[in-house]
């Protein structure tokens, strides 16, 4: 039985004749199953669900040190199965390394945020052999859709930055191996959520799957980014440079504010404006 841990129970019985007939093999099978069900009901078997996200013990301190105010560094748990991309983030609540973002993390247009109700949220990252997964539950009191065909950054969205050739202390503009991808949620309009390529400028982000739903105080969004698009094969222990920014637009054709995982002034498309993200987790 998949996902169940049971004590070994030795079942023995004697084949006896009843009314001149042997018990049929089917009867014995049903009897054995009924005994196991009784043992299960009284606690002989216990359900051990497989963890959705797996994080190595030695990497837990990396995330806690980042949360304690040390130099930002984060860990990315292994997804034991692909998250269902529907914008409903229930499975992400079991994630062992959430990233909390508040209005204090605004790095672009510092005076544009009016508080946590204007822009804040929780961000999750995970990976498997096929995708880098990003999910966010965003608090935003005024929702405005993006101009998807033109200036997609004019509207509420999430920006994902990835450097697959990350090295601490490296300075310079994005080039080969660095990417900017916009995740454009669907609310408050009826268009489906989608992704937009930012950097490099000819990046085709159509292979990035995105889903979102509107919530009581903002929106929820999740996406899968193929490693093939990023030009790299992932492996446990790999360290990437990343940033995940929540961008807020309250007025038409304007980018009011944007958060960052990186302390300090905003620097779009700069390799030094990233934090380290370690791919963690061993499939059990």
| Same domain? 92 vs 40 | no
Q: Which of 85-89, 97-101, 232-236, 257-261 has the lowest mean pLDDT?
A: 257-261
Q: How far apart are CA 145 and CA 61, in angstroms?
A: 38
| Same domain? 41 vs 91 | no
Q: Which comes out higher in pLDDT, residue 5 or 206?
A: 206
| Same domain? 119 vs 29 | no
pLDDT at 283: 56
For residue 141, tell me if it sits in a domain. yes
Q: Which of 160-164, 249-253, 277-281 has the lowest mean pLDDT?
A: 249-253
For residue 76, tell me if it sits in a domain. no
For residue 70, tell me if it sits in a domain. no
Cα 34 versus chain centre, distance: 41
| Same domain? 138 vs 260 | yes
- Residues belonging to the chain: 284
The domain of 93 spans 82-278
- CATH label of the domain that carries residue 239: 2.60.40.1190
| Same domain? 25 vs 147 | no
Q: Which of these, 243, 277, 281, lies nearest to 263 by C-alpha position?
A: 243
**Tally of structural domains, the chain:** 2
For residue 202, tell me if it sits in a domain. yes
160 phi, psi to nearest 5 deg:
-115, 125
Tell me what the mean pLDDT of segment 11-24 comes to.
Answer: 41
pLDDT at 1: 38
| Same domain? 33 vs 107 | no
| Same domain? 157 vs 249 | yes
| Same domain? 150 vs 254 | yes
| Same domain? 98 vs 214 | yes
| Same domain? 41 vs 101 | no
């Amino acid at each position: 039985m998949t996902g169940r841990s049971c004590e070994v129970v030795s079942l023995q019985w004697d084949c006896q004749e009843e009314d001149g007939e042997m018990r049929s093999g089917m009867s014995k099978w049903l009897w054995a199953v009924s005994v196991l069900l009784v043992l299960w009901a009284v606690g002989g078997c216990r359900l051990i669900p497989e963890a959705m996200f797996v994080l190595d013990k030695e990497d837990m301190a990396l995330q806690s040190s980042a949360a304690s105010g040390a130099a930002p560094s984060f860990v990315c748990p292994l997804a034991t199965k692909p998250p269902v991309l529907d914008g409903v983030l229930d499975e992400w609540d079991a994630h062992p390394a959430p990233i909390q973002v508040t209005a204090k993390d605004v790095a672009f247009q510092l005076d544009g945020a009016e508080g946590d109700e204007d822009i804040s949220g929780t961000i999750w990252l995970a990976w498997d052999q096929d995708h880098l997964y990003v999910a966010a539950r965003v608090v935003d009191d005024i929702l405005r859709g993006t101009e998807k065909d033109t200036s997609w950054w004019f509207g509420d969205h999430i920006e994902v930055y990835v450097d697959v050739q990350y090295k601490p202390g490296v300075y310079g503009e994005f080039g080969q191996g660095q990417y900017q991808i916009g995740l454009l949620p669907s609310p408050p309009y009826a268009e489906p959520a989608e992704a937009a390529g930012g950097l490099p400028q000819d990046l085709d982000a159509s292979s990035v799957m995105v889903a979102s739903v509107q919530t009581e105080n903002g929106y929820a969004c999740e996406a899968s980014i193929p490693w093939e698009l990023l030009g790299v094969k992932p492996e446990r222990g790999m360290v990437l440079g990343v940033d995940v920014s929540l961008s807020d637009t309250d007025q038409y054709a304007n980018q009011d504010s944007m958060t960052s995982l990186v302390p300090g002034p905003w620097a779009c498309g700069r390799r030094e404006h990233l934090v380290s993200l370690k791919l963690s987790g061993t499939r059990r």
